[in-house]
């Protein structure tokens, strides 16, 4: 009874396997029928109807004869990349194809722009551009008439025009080197296949500029802050090196004035500075002024306010901007370890710093000598000679018997011989005896007289007026005095 009661109130009835099989067959047949209906083409009843678009047609848009228009309301379907054609567009015929553009035939000319990298030579640049060694040699040989390829420096621009044949052969047509701002050296191939060289120059404007400043740390720092170029600063130091010891005479609060011609290109790029026209240094309240003047014989030199040439028989400092590391006199020798007379002045300089001839003269000795290492001695007069020690090398053409001019580069500082570090040892000899180069009274140079002195006075007045107008400042001495009182 209980079993009968459970069956009556809720025990699920068991589904027979045969019933499940029948239901599966029915579902499968229905799915196959639906799939066949979806993939079948349009029926005859819908072929000629223009207002009926099947689902298959919507999913697969017909090809277009051009680029799609994405502006209209029918432009996109379901937000994807497929698009519907505009109703007015013509469908492409099945046999329409796009014909690819034909490859260019014959030699092709192209221009190659390059920048010189560290270690590059012109030959290497041409070789990397597939120019044959024979053509590279011919082009460089022609270029040497207007530009020395050894002067090629990193950062310079080089451009080539080459002709490439279909077989891969490359022929150089034109070579251009930016020798310096505003000047281009060019090699071109002529009709006969030979190379010729020429130059192009941009127009250069020359304007006179005035610079001035107060020295707080160094003359170089003050000069650069005023806008002076490194070249003009080196000129300034060289002009005053006859009378000024730049290591000891320059003090904080001193000042300078310079007037120089600056060359610029049309785009404002500075090409370089010419010779200084006027320069002044105010040292401890005393002003030294120099003026560039050309006399009636065409000789150009710098003169002080009295018309006396700045040039002395000898330079006190034969290197630019060097620090005195050891003076003249008795000292404890840094190598030998005992007191010994130091018969010269040592300038601490990096190896390779240019050394200038202290005056006009004839080279007496150039070569290794005792503890001096590489040594150079120049005889200037029957009384005066100068000597240079611990050199790393000599300038081209310097040997015993060669003549030199004051300010000419004759050697390069080094660390040869008995030294503790790189420096230049400089001696001044009077009657073959070493004297202190910093204290000897150097004989004066030329003094203007007569008509030359009158012309110089007129030029000096004009330069003073020009500097005052260009600088827009009060006298440097007043500015220095005001700075010193702060």
Question: Could you read off the pLDDT of 7-38 as tens digits, one per residue?
Answer: 444 445 555 666 666 677 677 777 666 666 66
Q: Domain range for residue 272?
A: 203-311+444-486
Q: Give residue 234's pLDDT band: very low, low, confident or very high (50, 70, 90).
A: confident
How far apart are alpha carbons 101 and 106 in whole angstroms?
Answer: 16
Per-residue confidence (pLDDT) for residue 212, from 0 to 100: 94
pLDDT beyond 70 at 62: no
In a domain, 170, yes or no: yes
How far apart are alpha carbons 319 and 322 in whole angstroms?
Answer: 6
pLDDT beyond 50 at 2: no
pLDDT beyond 70 at 436: yes
Judge if 158 and 194 occupy the same domain. yes
Over residues 102-113, mean pLDDT: 73
Among 18-22, 154-158, 255-259, 465-469, name the one with the lowest average pLDDT.
18-22
Last residue of a domain, which of 201, 233, 249? Answer: 201
Judge if 331 and 419 occupy the same domain. yes
How far apart are alpha carbons 59 and 308 in whole angstroms?
Answer: 101
Over residues 334-360, mean pLDDT: 82
Q: For the chain, how far is it from start to end, CA to CA, in angstroms?
A: 125
In a domain, 6, yes or no: no
Per-residue confidence (pLDDT) for residue 292, from 0 to 100: 95
How far apart are alpha carbons 187 and 224 in whole angstroms?
Answer: 38
Per-residue confidence (pLDDT) for residue 204, from 0 to 100: 83
Token digits for 119? 């270690």
How far apart are alpha carbons 116 and 342 in whole angstroms?
Answer: 47
- Give the angle subtended at the CA of 478 by the CAs of 308 and 211, to the nearest 5°: 65
pLDDT more than 90, % of the chain: 33
Per-residue confidence (pLDDT) for residue 188, from 0 to 100: 92
Per-residue confidence (pLDDT) for residue 438, from 0 to 100: 77
pLDDT in tens, 395-422: 999 999 999 988 899 999 999 988 888 9
How far apart are alpha carbons 312 and 442 in whole angstroms?
Answer: 6
Judge if 303 and 218 occupy the same domain. yes
Per-residue confidence (pLDDT) for residue 71, from 0 to 100: 42
Judge if 431 and 330 occupy the same domain. yes
How far apart are alpha carbons 311 and 306 in whole angstroms?
Answer: 14
Among 409, 413, 408, CA closest to 424: 413
Last residue of a domain, which of 149, 180, 201? Answer: 201
**Domains contained in the chain, number:** 3
In a domain, 349, yes or no: yes
In a domain, 480, yes or no: yes
CB 135 within 8 A of CB 169: no
Q: Give residue 392's pLDDT band: very low, low, confident or very high (50, 70, 90).
A: very high
To the question of pTM greater than 0.95 for the whole model, the response is: no
CB 389 within 8 A of CB 377: no
* Inter-helix orientation angle 219-226/230-240, to 10°: 140
Identify the residue with better confidence: 210 or 37. Answer: 210
Contacts of 413 (CB under 8 A, 6+ apart): 319, 347, 349, 350, 351, 352, 353, 355, 390, 391, 392, 422, 423, 424
The dihedral sign for the CA sequence 20, 25, 31, 34 = negative
Last residue of a domain, which of 184, 201, 218? Answer: 201
Judge if 255 and 304 occupy the same domain. yes
Judge if 301 and 379 occupy the same domain. no
In a domain, 485, yes or no: yes
* b (16+ CB within 10 A) / e for 220-229: bebbeebebb
Task: Supply the mean pLDDT for the chain.
Answer: 78
pLDDT beyond 70 at 479: no
Judge if 402 and 469 occupy the same domain. no
Identify any residues that bridge with 110 across adjacent strands, giving them in sequence order. 162
In a domain, 132, yes or no: yes
Over residues 112-137, mean pLDDT: 88
Judge if 250 and 230 occupy the same domain. yes
3-state secondary structure the chain: CHHHHHHHHCCCCCCCHHHHHHHHHHHHHHHHHHHHHHHCCCCHHHHCCCCCCCHHHHHCCCCCCCCCCCCCCCCCCCCCCCCCCCCCCCCCCCCCCCCCCCCCCCCEEEEEEEECCCCCCHHHHHHHCCCCHHHHHHHHHHHCCCCCHHHCCCCCEEEEEEEECCCCCEEEEEEEEEEECCEEEEEEECCCCCEEEEEEECCCEEEEEEEEEECCCCHHHHHHHHCCCHHHHHHHHHHHCCCCCCCCCCCCCCEEEEEEEEEECCCCCEEEEEEEEEEEEEECCEEEEEEEEECCCCCEEEECCCCEECCECCCCCCCCCCEEEECCEEEECCCCCCEEEECCEEEECCCCCEEECCCCEEEEEEEECHHHCEEEEEECCCCEEEEEEEEEEECCCCCCCCEECCCCEEEEEECCCCCCCCEEEEEEEECCEEECCCCCCCCECCECCHHHHHHHHHHHHHHHHHHHHHHCCCCHHHHHHHHHHC
Per-residue confidence (pLDDT) for residue 203, from 0 to 100: 87
Q: How many residues does the chain have?
A: 486
In a domain, 74, yes or no: no
In a domain, 331, yes or no: yes
Token digits for 188? 């071109």
Judge if 294 and 330 occupy the same domain. no
Tokens 């553009």 belong to: 101
Judge if 389 and 477 occupy the same domain. no
Q: Give residue 99's pLDDT band: very low, low, confident or very high (50, 70, 90).
A: very low
- For residue 147, the domain's CATH number is 3.10.450.350
Judge if 157 and 304 occupy the same domain. no
How far apart are alpha carbons 434 and 387 in whole angstroms?
Answer: 9
Judge if 345 and 425 occupy the same domain. yes
């Amino acid at each position: 009874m209980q079993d009968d009661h459970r069956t009556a109130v809720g025990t699920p009835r068991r589904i027979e396997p045969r019933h499940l099989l029948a239901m599966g067959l029915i579902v499968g047949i229905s799915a196959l029928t639906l799939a066949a209906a979806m993939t079948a083409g349009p029926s005859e009843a819908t072929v000629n109807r223009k207002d009926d678009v099947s689902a298959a047609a919507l999913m697969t848009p017909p090809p277009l004869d051009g680029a799609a228009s994405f502006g209209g309301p029918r432009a996109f379907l379901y937000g994807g990349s497929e698009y519907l054609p505009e109703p007015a567009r013509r469908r492409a015929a099945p046999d329409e194809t796009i014909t690819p553009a034909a490859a260019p035939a014959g030699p092709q000319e192209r221009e190659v722009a390059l920048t010189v990298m560290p270690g590059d030579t012109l030959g290497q640049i041409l070789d990397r551009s597939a120019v044959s060694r024979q053509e590279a040699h011919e082009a460089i040989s022609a270029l040497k008439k207007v530009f020395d390829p050894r002067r090629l420096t990193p950062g310079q621009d080089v451009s080539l025009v080459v002709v490439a044949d279909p077989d891969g052969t490359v022929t150089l047509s034109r070579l251009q080197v930016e020798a310096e701002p505003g000047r281009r050296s060019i090699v071109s191939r002529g009709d006969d296949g030979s190379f010729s060289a020429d130059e192009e120059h941009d127009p250069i404007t020359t304007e006179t500029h005035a610079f001035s400043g107060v020295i707080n740390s160094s003359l170089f720092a003050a000069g650069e802050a005023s806008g002076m170029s490194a070249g003009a600063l080196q000129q300034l130091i060289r002009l005053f090196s006859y009378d000024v010891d730049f290591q000891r005479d320059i003090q904080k609060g001193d000042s300078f004035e310079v007037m120089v011609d600056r060359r610029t290109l049309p785009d404002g790029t500075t090409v370089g500075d010419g010779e200084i026209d006027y320069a002044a240094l105010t040292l401890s309240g005393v002003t030294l002024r120099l003026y560039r003047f050309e006399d009636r014989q065409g000789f150009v030199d710098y003169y002080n306010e009295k018309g006396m040439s700045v040039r002395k028989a000898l330079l006190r400092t034969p290197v630019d901007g060097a620090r005195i590391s050891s003076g003249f006199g008795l000292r404890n020798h840094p190598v030998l370890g005992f007191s010994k007379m130091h018969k010269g002045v040592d300038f601490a300089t990096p190896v390779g710093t240019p050394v200038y001839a202290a005056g006009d003269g004839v080279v007496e000795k150039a070569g290794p000598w005792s503890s001096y290492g590489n040594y150079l001695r120049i005889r200037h007069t029957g009384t005066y000679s100068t000597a240079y020690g611990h050199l790393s090398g000599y300038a081209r053409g310097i040997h015993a018997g060669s003549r030199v001019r004051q300010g000419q580069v004759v050697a390069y500082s080094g660390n040869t011989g008995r030294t503790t570090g790189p420096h230049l040892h400089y001696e001044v000899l009077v009657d073959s005896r070493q004297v202190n180069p910093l204290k000897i009274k150097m004989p004066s140079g030329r003094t203007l007289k007569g008509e030359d002195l009158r012309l110089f006075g007129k030029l000096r007045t004009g330069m003073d007026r020009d500097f005052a107008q260009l600088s827009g400042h009060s006298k440097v001495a007043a500015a220095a005095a005001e700075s010193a009182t702060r």
